[in-house]
Structure 1
Amino acid sequence: MAAKARVVCTLIAALAMHMHIAATAAAASVESARDARIFELLDDDQDGSVSMMEFKNNQMLVFYILDRNKDLALTADETFLPTDVFASIAGADGKIDTIEFLDIVDSAFKQADTNHDGLLDRQEFGALLKRVRNR
């Protein structure tokens, strides 16, 4: 009887692990699909890259993506800006509102454009989103 209990426990543990792996993979797949859709929305001319102009044209979409708690203000943990840069933009209230955000779009784009070609490809854009999410 004890042997059967061990087998059952082992099977349950294996099933739970499988379900966890499947759920993690599904979440990653959903996030990847969402990122691809965001990129497509920013890529107005559908040429496979986001130019500075396209980025600026859609900067409020970017703001709402960064604003994880949807309070219409960005805190330091919702951006990938260095602490001193964030502080200089945010001012006394410690938050970046929509007006202040519009002033930093150029800097964010340039920082994300790691190959300095004036465009964000899918990889650079994905890295930007990953940095934002992991903060």
Structure 2
Amino acid sequence: MAAKVRMAFILTVALTAIVILAALTPMTAAAATASVENARDARIFELLDDDQNGSVSMMEFKNNQMLVFYILDRNKDLALTADETFLPADVFASIAGADGKIDTLEFLEIVDSAFKQADTNHDELLDRQEFIALLHRVRNR
């Protein structure tokens, strides 16, 4: 009898552990994803901040925007298709020309506009918070 009680207790503990781990797994995965995203965002900011002064000027932004374009342009045809960007379909469509692609001039126009909108304190610099907010807005559109 004691062996059955002990086995039932062990089984209950094991099942409880499994249920707890299953409940925590989605939170852990979400936290891991957020952590990776935050690290990536920080690295992008550091790459754009050429002089490493903690902010990205319009000049730094412009100097690097074509680099960003070329990185996104995986097939190197000087036009971005929807699958080469992380933009939601409706946002991509509103930017893309009649050909359904974003060419370099269209890209430069939206990047300039994005910088101005992101510069919420109008000091012509993007601090880390403004830059991260810009990335979140683009991702969540």
Cα distance between partner residues in 2 of 1:43 and 1:107: 19
- Flag the structure with higher strand content: 2
Q: Return the match for 1:55 from 52, 61, 80.
A: 61
Aligned residues: 129
Amino acid at match of 1:129: L
The 5-angstrom pairing of residues 1-135 of structure 1 reads 7-63=13-69, 67=72, 70=74, 72-73=79-80, 75=82, 78-79=86-87, 87=94, 89-135=95-141
Structure exhibiting the larger radius of gyration computed from Cα positions = 2
Cα distance, 1:121 vs. partner?
0.6
CA contact (8 A) 1:74 1:97 kept: no
Given the superposition, is the C-alpha separation of residues 41 and 24 from structure 1 closer, same or farther in structure 2, using an over 3 Å criterion?
same
| Higher RCO (CA < 8 A, seq sep 6+) | 1
Query: Structure 1: where are the runs of 5+ without partners?
Result: none
Cα distance between partner residues in 1 of 2:127 and 2:50: 13
% identical aligned pairs:
69
Amino acid at match of 2:53: D
Query: Structure 2: where are the runs of 5+ without partners?
Result: 1-6
Cα distance between partner residues in 2 of 1:115 and 1:130: 18
User: Which secondary structure does the structure 2 equivalent of 1:91 belong to?
Assistant: coil
**What is the TM-score when the length of structure 1 is the normalising length?**
0.75
- What's the C-alpha RMSD, in Å, of the aligned pairs? 3.0
The one-character-per-residue Cα deviations of 1:47-81 (angstroms, maximum 9, x if unpaired) are 1000000000000244367x5x9565154x8448x
Amino acid at match of 1:47: N
Cα distance, 1:30 vs. partner?
1.3
User: Which secondary structure does the structure 1 equivalent of 2:98 belong to?
Assistant: helix
**What is the TM-score when the length of structure 2 is the normalising length?**
0.72
Amino acid at match of 1:73: L
